[in-house]
Amino acid sequence: MTPDLSWPGRVVRRWPARDWLNAAMLRVGLTGGIGAGKSTVAARLVEHGAVLIDADRLAREVVAPGTDGLAEVVAAFGAEVLAPDGSLDRPALAARAFADEDSRRTLNAIVHPRVGARTAELMAEAAPDAIVVHDVPLLVENGLAPHYHLVVVVDADEEVRVRRLVEYRGMTEEDARARIAAQAGAAQRRAVADVWLDNGAARDIVLADVDALWADRLVPFEANLRLRKPRPPRSPMVVPPDPSWPAQAERALARIRVAAGDRAVRLDHIGSTAVPGLPAKDVLDLQLTVPTLADADAIAEVLSDAGFPRAEGHWCDDPQDGATEPGRWDKRFHFGADPARPVNLHVRSAEGPAWRLALLFRDWLRAEPDELAAYAAAKRRLAEAHAGDGTVEPYTEEKQGWIDAAFRRAAGWAERTGWRP
């Protein structure tokens, strides 16, 4: 018997095309508002051995003197955007390129493909076991977060950022505040941040945080991803509900959505962490529904490269309809490679019944407070009884009886209410 990794039932065995996004090594997106101190974090990660790709530096490189990028910029905006030494006069270009939306699009069409191509080259040069840190100031604004295995956001209080911009970059306070206001806000960055680094205090503090991030998360994450290493089983410890579970699930689902492409029929956060107020093991259960299991097999390697390695063996959900038809309850299972964010990814066929039952169970618990309370009590009781087992199997076996009976009650609720997934 294998651990309980499914629900329902226990398990028995906007840039142009970005080729660099397909690289299999660990990709870390690093971003933060102007003046937040990204360079401090980036430099420390490089000291640890990270391969740094700086999007701003590449954007300057592709329009350096003698490049075809600069020639195309001059052709589009005129020789007036050149400085006397033949280099790009950035203020002059900004005055022209950002005068209207068409001009901005013209500049982006020149610069972005070249930056993307150069990024792909640098990715290809990195070792297979590299940890690549991509420093992208406008990662949030350009919607790039789902394309990284992990997003690190560096932040600092606005007053700290303004002071830095005035003291170290020579900006006026008015200009500094205007630049900050023009970028994504803290709420937008928090929505995509897997890691939030506060760089508003002493430098040693953020450096210690980066050191811990490298040792405790990035290094094992890279190894799990490269080796397709399964997560060790967890004891059935049930923790109080974490209000951030839905946001964490959405970040993972966004990455899966990019990897699955048009083979995804739907993506859902399921399981106990998807039910507000329900205690649970701190593991996100996610469901990818595909047309057939052949589709699941076709995208298995892509999902693995995206940070969700496929588990070996035969996986199926506990049959609930008494059917003996082979394969009716079969599925594919992937686990999250991020050691700090355990994920169970259940890939189920739209041809089978399990995907619908997982959603029904979730929605029924959300709608029925008494059933929610009863399930919470059962989970706590069983978790306490099996806390010393060192495995989830006994906990799973006993819990399954409650779940099997609950499925029947949930089916009755669905019929009474007209529920549809």
Comparing 232 with 174, which gets the higher pLDDT? 174
Residue 1 has pLDDT above 80, yes or no: no
**Tokens matching residue 6:** 């499914």
Tokens of 392: 């989830």
The confidence score (pLDDT) of residue 243 equals 95
Asked if the model's pLDDT at residue 288 lies above 70, the reply is yes
Task: Place 236 in a pLDDT band, splitting at 50, 70 and 90.
Answer: low
pLDDT for 230 = 75
By the 8 A CB rule, do 333 and 311 touch? yes
- Taking residues 321-336, what's their average pLDDT? 85
pLDDT at 9 exceeding the cut of 60: no
CA-closest candidate to residue 287, choices 309, 306, 271, 303: 271
Tell me which CATH code domain 245-417 carries.
3.30.460.10
412 labeled binding residue:
no
Q: Is 35 annotated as a binding residue?
A: yes
What DSSP assignment string belongs to 80-99? GGB-TTSSB-HHHHHHHHTS
For 307-318, what is the mean pLDDT?
94
Q: Residue 386: what pLDDT?
A: 80
| Burial of 157 per CB tally in 10 Å (0-12, 13-18, 19+) | middle
Residue 15 pLDDT greater than 50, yes or no: no
Residues written for the chain: 421
CATH 3.40.50.300 fits 19-226, yes or no: yes
Query: Is 39 assigned a ligand-binding role in the annotation?
Result: yes
Residue-level pLDDT at 241? 92
In percent, how much of the chain has pLDDT > 90? 73
Structure tokens at 239: 């923790």
40 labeled binding residue: yes
Residue 17 has pLDDT above 60, yes or no: no
Higher pLDDT residue, 375 or 97?
Answer: 375
Evaluate if residue 327 carries a pLDDT over 70: yes
Q: What is the pLDDT of residue 22?
A: 53
**Sequential DSSP letters for 198-244:** E-SS-HHHHHHHHHHHIIIIIHHHHHHHHHTPPPPP-----B---TT
**Could you report the per-residue pLDDT of 238-252, keeping only the tens digit for each?**
789 999 999 999 999
The model's pLDDT over 218-230, given as tens digits with 9 standing for 90+, comes to 999 999 999 998 7
Using the structure block, give the residue that is written with the tokens 């203020």.
91
For residue range 184-205, list pLDDT tens digits in order.
999 999 999 999 999 999 999 9
Domain boundaries, the chain: 19-226, 245-417
Q: How confident is the model at residue 233 (pLDDT cuts 50, 70, 90)?
A: low
- Residue 200 labeled ligand binder: no
Q: What is the value of pTM for the model shown? A: 0.88
User: Is residue 292 part of an annotated ligand binding site?
Assistant: no
Range scoring the smallest mean pLDDT among 2-6, 160-164, 344-348: 2-6
DSSP H helices, 288-392, are: 293-298, 300-305, 354-367, 369-385
